[in-house]
């Protein structure tokens, strides 16, 4: 069955790289049926570049300018609901799509009626599109990429979770558009964080297909660089940054409550894979136990040993590494009332009004 496709592209002050991204969309071996651009109140030439492209594009282009700044997640949600075709691809303003990205994903959807989401992989490049190696993100560079004649691999979603893939970049996701109602009807504030919400929920709602070859060049530049940056070569500095991130109690609380909200939301849905919701309950449990252990150093070893023997650290993305780091964490008190943040709740509650 021949399906139609939309690209949901969000922009914000992206004049430096947007033209290049738009060119790669127009060079696809299978063109989309439409491009939906949602601009989040850019103050540079972003909208002008988009309009110039629309005038010559080989497919329909619709451009929307938000009346208020929505932020990344809510802007993607708005673009998703504006899409009018069978399949929606999510697109950032500064990446580079390789020519076969749409064709290979659409091939997977058309050959597998039960597949509701297709995931692709990427190659990290710098501002000048030169490949870079970020050691701590190396698992994105699958050694099979480019070496397999099989164009895609139908994957059982729990295998992704078991390998520590608890989220996926939006620009590497494509979904059957009709799932947007199931994803966002009565969704909790966690859904504002678009990428992990769509990835985690879709894994329970439908079958997932993973393309084996990379089809996106993910441009890492400016503020997108973290402590994984190629500019940091000192291994002790990298270790320090990793430990510092790990010991941020607010991040652990955020993850615990996010998995709680996700599992509660999915419990009210008709799921193709209900065991995924159970997995998220396990994630919620281990995060809360780890938080309690860090908060109470006197009983910490017993809690960690109990959870380790119970096999519950499989619900942490780094597995046994988390055990070692939790044992030596500085005692901290969690702030359960600070999530969701006031800013997140303001955007979440105002979304229906400001997205018109």
Question: How confident is the model at residue 348, as a pLDDT?
Answer: 77
Cα separation values, 27 from 89, 184, 259, 297, Å: 16, 32, 39, 57
DSSP structure string for 302-327:
HHHHHHHHTTGGGGSTTTHHHHHHHH
Measured distance CA(284)–CA(289) in Å, rounded: 9
Q: For the packed helices 249-266 and 194-205, what is the interaxial angle rounded to 10 degrees?
A: 40
Measured distance CA(258)–CA(251) in Å, rounded: 10
Quick one: fold of 5-224?
Answer: Spore Coat Polysaccharide Biosynthesis Protein SpsA; Chain A (3.90.550)
Closest residue by Cα to residue 176 from 213, 218, 207: 207
Question: How confident is the model at residue 136, as a pLDDT?
Answer: 39
Please determine, for residue 96, whether its predicted confidence score (pLDDT) is greater than 70.
yes
First to last CA, the chain: 34
Query: How confident is residue 237, by pLDDT bands cut at 50, 70 and 90?
Result: low
Measured distance CA(79)–CA(63) in Å, rounded: 10
Residue that is written with structure tokens 């497919």 in the block: 59
Give the tens place of pLDDT for each residue, 10-37: 999 999 999 999 999 999 999 999 999 9
Query: Which residue ranges make up each domain of the chain?
Result: 5-224, 247-354
State both tokens at 328. Answer: 């030596």
pTM higher than 0.85, yes or no? Answer: yes
Give the tens place of pLDDT for each residue, 178-226: 999 999 999 999 999 999 999 999 999 999 999 989 999 999 876 443 3
The whole-chain average pLDDT of the chain stands at 86
Question: How confident is the model at residue 167, as a pLDDT?
Answer: 93
Which residues have a Cβ under 8 Å from the Cβ of 188 and sit 6 or more positions away? 261, 262, 264, 265
Please determine, for residue 353, whether its predicted confidence score (pLDDT) is greater than 80.
no
Please tell me which residue, 344 or 161, carries the higher pLDDT value. Answer: 161
Does residue 232 contact residue 141 with C-beta atoms inside 8 Å? no
């Amino acid at each position: 069955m021949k399906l139609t496709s939309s690209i949901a592209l969000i922009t914000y002050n992206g004049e430096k790289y947007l033209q290049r991204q738009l060119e790669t969309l127009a060079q696809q071996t299978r063109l989309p049926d439409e491009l939906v651009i949602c601009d989040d109140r850019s103050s540079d030439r972003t909208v002008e570049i988009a309009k110039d492209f629309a005038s010559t594009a080989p497919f329909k282009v619709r451009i929307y300018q938000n009346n208020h700044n929505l932020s990344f997640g809510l802007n993607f949600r708005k673009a998703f609901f504006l899409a009018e075709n069978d399949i929606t691809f999510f697109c950032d303003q500064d990446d580079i799509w390789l020519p076969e990205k749409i064709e290979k994903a659409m091939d997977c959807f058309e050959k597998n009626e039960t597949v509701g989401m297709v995931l692709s992989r990427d190659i990290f490049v710098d501002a000048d599109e030169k490949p870079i190696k970020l050691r701590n993100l190396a698992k994105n560079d699958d050694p099979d990429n480019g070496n397999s004649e099989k164009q895609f691999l139908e994957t059982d979603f729990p295998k992704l979770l078991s390998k520590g893939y608890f989220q996926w970049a939006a620009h590497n996701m494509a979904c059957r558009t009709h799932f947007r109602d199931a994803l966002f009807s009565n969704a909790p504030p966690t859904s504002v964080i678009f990428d992990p919400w769509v990835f985690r929920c879709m894994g329970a709602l439908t079958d997932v297909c993973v393309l084996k070859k990379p089809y996106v060049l993910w441009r890492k530049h400016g503020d997108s660089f973290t402590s994984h940056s190629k500019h940091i070569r000192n291994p002790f500095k990298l270790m320090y940054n990793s430990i510092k991130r790990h010991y941020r109690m607010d991040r652990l609380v955020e993850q615990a409550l996010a998995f709680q909200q996700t599992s509660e939301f999915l419990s009210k849905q008709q799921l193709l894979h209900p065991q995924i919701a159970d997995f998220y309950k396990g994630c919620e449990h281990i995060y809360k136990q780890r938080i309690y252990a860090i908060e109470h150093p006197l009983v910490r070893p017993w809690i960690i040993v109990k959870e380790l023997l119970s096999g519950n650290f499989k619900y942490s993305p780094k597995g046994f590494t988390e055990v070692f780091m939790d044992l030596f964490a500085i005692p901290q008190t969690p702030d359960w009332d600070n999530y969701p943040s006031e800013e997140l709740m303001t955007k979440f509650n105002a979304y229906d009004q400001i997205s018109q």
